[in-house]
Amino acid sequence: MASDSPSAPRQAAAERIGAVLDALEKRLDRLEPGVSPGLVIEALAEPVRALGAAVREGVR
């Protein structure tokens, strides 16, 4: 019978994704209303890349 709890690697991947989402949220919170799109892109580029990497790792 399959276990209801996630496997350790999946749990670790979920925790990494959660941490990256937290970092992304913090970056968004630091942005002032009306900031230019270029600054938004600059502020979010690294966290978005990290999120993509964490998700890819999680689906392996």
Q: pLDDT tens, 35-56?
A: 999 999 999 999 999 989 888 8
Say how far apart CA 20 and CA 18 lie, in whole Å. Answer: 5
Neighbour count for residue 20 (Cβ, 10 Å): 20
Q: What is the DSSP letter of 7?
A: P
pTM of the model: 0.72
Q: Could you identify the residue written with the tokens 């964490």? A: 54
Cα dihedral value 21, 22, 27, 33, nearest 10: 90
Q: Is the pLDDT of residue 14 over 70?
A: yes
What pLDDT does 42 receive? 93
